[in-house]
Structure 1
Amino acid sequence: MTYIASISSFYSDACITYATLSVSYFALSKSSPFSFQSALWRRVLFGVLAGLAALYLGEGRLQLSANMYYSFAMLPMILVIFYGGGISGLVCYLVNFAFTGGFTLDNLFIASIVLPLLLSRVWLKKSFKVFYLTIGIIALYRIGIASVFVDFRRLWVDILVFQFASALCLAVCYHALNFKERHIHAFFSMRNKATTDSLTHINNRASVDYKMLMQHTQRQSCGLMILDLDDFKKVNDTHGHLAGDEVLSSVGRILQDCVRNEDFVGRYGGEEFIVITSSYDPEHIAAMAERIRSRVESTVFNTEGGDVIHMTISIGTSLYLPGMTVDKAIEITDEALYDAKREGKNRVVSSRLMPLSPLGDGFRRG
């Protein structure tokens, strides 16, 4: 019985192909949907995992002659190009190339299929039509090569059945991965809508509340800033609400530029923003707040309507220390903001909690 005649072998190879790529795709989509635009290390890792699957699938062969055989090793390579792009496809091929003898006839044959896919950048035109056209051309190419090197009249049944099985496996895996891709994108889209402010594209009030709840639940100290744009109502009254929205959006970008990756920025409501810092060192918090205040003051806000607007911002800083309620921490920070407004605006005022920052060390170590 030939290799292709074994239904169980075909089924297991299809399962291995899908499981490897599906689990890899899901794992690499933990923080954001995986695609050909993902971070380089993610695309390389996807290619490596697909390459390992190709190595395993290459062990099962339909031997057509002493020098030629078919295997399912091509399946992960084709799929990984469509879903991971050129880097993933190239890495997958190189893994297989490195562990199967290098410059062999079979690897050169595989390269003659992979290279056109990479050069045509099929991942940019991913659609059912392009995919089925691709596997159809590949099947005809493989049949044509086989007819040159082997007795096609004697082996035509095995050759045609193998191409059909390969195409079927590719189609099943492609549609299954496409289904997973759409659901992952839908999940992240809904999550972003639920947690992101639609105007400023930073965290919304619900995200702020959840973040503070996590700080409280996990008993983690942190720094707090509540920021309020000075005289923002005049902007809306003088320049209109669209101009005001543009200012708010620009301030959101300024906040993101001025904090570290581990810090949290959110819109607290209206023209109020909040920053939650992982550091609860008073000097660090004060320096960051002053950097934000200075940046807003020096920024010229140009609106689409041609208006030029200058803004200032008042900032109250404080701490959250385990043992406090979230409401109390916010209230104390808000009092510091009120003092900044009362003292003349465009300034940073720290709360009475700042001298107590060493109390957070014991909780952080615990």
Structure 2
Amino acid sequence: MRNIRVNANQVALVLKNKAFKQLLDEGSYWFWGNEQIFIYEKGNAFAAPIELNTLLQHPEMQAALEVIEVKDNEIVVQFEDNRFRTVFVPGKYAFLKGIRNYTYTSIDLSKIEITEPISMQLISTKLTAYVRSYTVESYEKGVLIVDGKFVRILDGGTYYWWKNSISIQVAKADMRQLQLEISGQEILTKDKANLRLNAFIQYRITDIVKAMYENKDYEKQVYVLLQLALREYIGGLTLDELLDKKEGIVDFVLKSAADKLAVLGIEIKGCGIRDIILPGDMKDIMNQVLMAEKKAQANIIMRREETASMRSLLNTAKLMEENETLWKLKEMEYVEKIADKINNITVSGNGQILDQLKQIFVKN
């Protein structure tokens, strides 16, 4: 004979020959046979000593247990007093009813959208094994593609979907103004001059669905469209015409590429030519032409100045011819300049020198 004590908030399961006999509440009990006694705490998980379905055939066990069945492609989130406790994967679980208040939320993992009343904090912390997430930056937009089909446009933020076999893709694009460099383009002019060009284009994505879903590699297409526009313009001009009309390249490219880029969902904002690089021999020839032009301009300027100087001298000569006093003043000016250059004057000879000086400085 043996005594079994069942405390408060406990139950005792009595089996005999591995078959259910009775379920005992709080109290003291005596047993004389070979019964098996299993004592459980109320509110805890119930670990069945025999097949659970066999026990559930008895009304006492049905009343004492709370059974949770989780189907395939499903999980169940358990809360205790509205606080997260655990997650149940497919299977059958049992809890003894009692002092703890449990609630459950079933989640269907066969879909991707999160429609269950579960907070984002819980999803991003406790349920990370069952979700997949994508982050779209504030300056970006995304295209949600499910099983290869466009669903919707995603603005900036973090998005969560249930993890399953359904394919999800998010194609993201920068919605700010972008710049594409086109470097080292070798192009022949109309007169077969080979030159190298460096250009750039500034653009914005206006329709992300066209750019990311309806077209592939939109950046490569933008590059090719600008490249073709440059070749079309430059190939129709000779080198001299190109150098004279290089400012027209930008206007031509803007007009030529605008409609074609609109099909890609892109708006062109501007473009420009960084460099037009000539080959070495052509560069030498252009430098020689430039030097010849500059020399010719310098000669013209020199001739113009010489002509002006001679005209000035002629006018001065006419004035001195008409005015004897002006002639003497000019002579004295030159004598003064000569005197500034010397320190001593040594005079040798007869009286003719004095007469000559007298003729210079004294008016008859």
TM-score normalised by L of structure 2: 0.21
TM-score normalised by L of structure 1: 0.21
Greater fraction helix? 1
The structure having more radius of gyration, on CA atoms, is 2
Greater fraction strand? 2
